Amino acid sequence: MNRMWIVAALLLATPALWLFGPTQAVAPVPPRVAGWFGPDPATATTGQVAAYFAALPRPATDDLVRRYPAVVGNLDGVPAGLRYAANRDPAQPERQYLVADRHGDGRVVEVLGDLGTARRVTILIPGVDTNRANFDTGLGGVVRRAPAWQARRLHAEISALRPGAPVAVIAWLGYDTPEGVRRDALREDRAATGALALRRFVAGLLQDRPQLEITLVGHSYGSIVAAHAAAELPAQVTDIVAIGSPGMGVPDRAALRTGARVWAGSAPDDWTRRLPGVRLLGVGHGRLPIDPAFGALRLPCADVAGHDGYFLRGTSSLRAMAHLSLPSTPPAASTSAASGTATDPAASGTATDPADSGTATDPAVAGLASGPGSVL
| Beta strand extents in 233-358 (DSSP E only) | 237-243, 261-265, 279-280, 283-284, 297-298
Residue 221 belongs to what H/E stretch?
Answer: helix 221-230
pLDDT in tens, 160-206: 999 999 999 999 999 999 998 888 999 999 999 999 999 999 999 99
pLDDT of residue 101: 96
Indicate the pLDDT class of residue 17, thresholds 50, 70 and 90: low
Q: Per-residue pLDDT tens for 126-137?
A: 999 999 999 999
Q: How confident is the model at residue 329 (pLDDT cuts 50, 70, 90)?
A: low
The whole-number pLDDT of residue 18 equals 54
Amino acid 16: pLDDT: 52
pLDDT at 351 over 80: no
Q: Going by C-beta distance under 8 Å and a sequence separation of 6 or more, which residues neighbour residue 15? A: none
Instruction: State whether residue 100 is helix, strand or coil.
Output: strand
Please state, for a pLDDT cut of 70, what percent of the chain lies above it: 82
Rounded CA separation 76/64 (Å) = 15
The band of 315, judged by pLDDT with boundaries at 50, 70 and 90, is very high
- Evaluate if residue 369 carries a pLDDT over 50: no
Asked if 267 and 304 touch (Cβ cutoff 8 Å), the reply is yes
> 201, 224 in Cβ contact below 8 A?
no
CATH class of 95-329+354-376: alpha beta
Classify 133 as helix, strand or coil: helix
Contact partners, residue 356, CB within 8 Å, separation at least 6: 370, 371
Helix (H), strand (E) at residue 112:
strand 107-112
The CA distances from residue 73 to 54, 101, 307, 343, 373, in Å, are 16, 9, 33, 39, 41
Distances (CA, A) of 191 to 126, 175, 244: 11, 8, 16
- Give the model confidence (pLDDT) of 68-105 as tens digits: 999 999 999 999 999 999 999 999 999 999 999 999 99
> Which ranges of 58-121 would DSSP assign to H, the alpha helix?
58-67, 69-72, 80-86
In this predicted structure, what is the pLDDT of residue 30?
Answer: 83
Domains of the chain, by residue range, sit at 46-93, 95-329+354-376
- Write b or e for each residue in 42-79: b if 16 or more Cβ atoms lie within 10 A of its Cβ, otherwise e: eebebeebbebbeeeeeeebeebbeebbbbbbbbbbbb
* 202-260: pLDDT as tens digits: 999 999 899 999 999 999 999 999 999 999 999 999 999 999 999 999 999 999 999 99
Task: State the average pLDDT for the chain.
Answer: 86
Reference 23, options 187, 203, 218; nearest CA is 187
Q: What tens digit of pLDDT does each residue of 268-295 get? A: 999 999 999 999 888 999 999 999 999 9
Secondary structure of residue 372 in the 3-state scheme: strand
The pLDDT tens digits of the residues spanning 41-51 come to: 999 999 999 99
Residue 72: C-alpha distances to residues 99, 111, 132, 253, 315 (Å): 9, 16, 19, 37, 39
What pLDDT is attached to residue 375? 34
What's the pLDDT score for residue 169?
A: 98
Between CA 221 and CA 270 the distance in angstroms is 14
Global pTM?
Answer: 0.86
Q: What is the pLDDT of residue 281?
A: 87
> Which residues 6+ apart lie within 8 Å of 293 measured at CB?
252, 287, 373
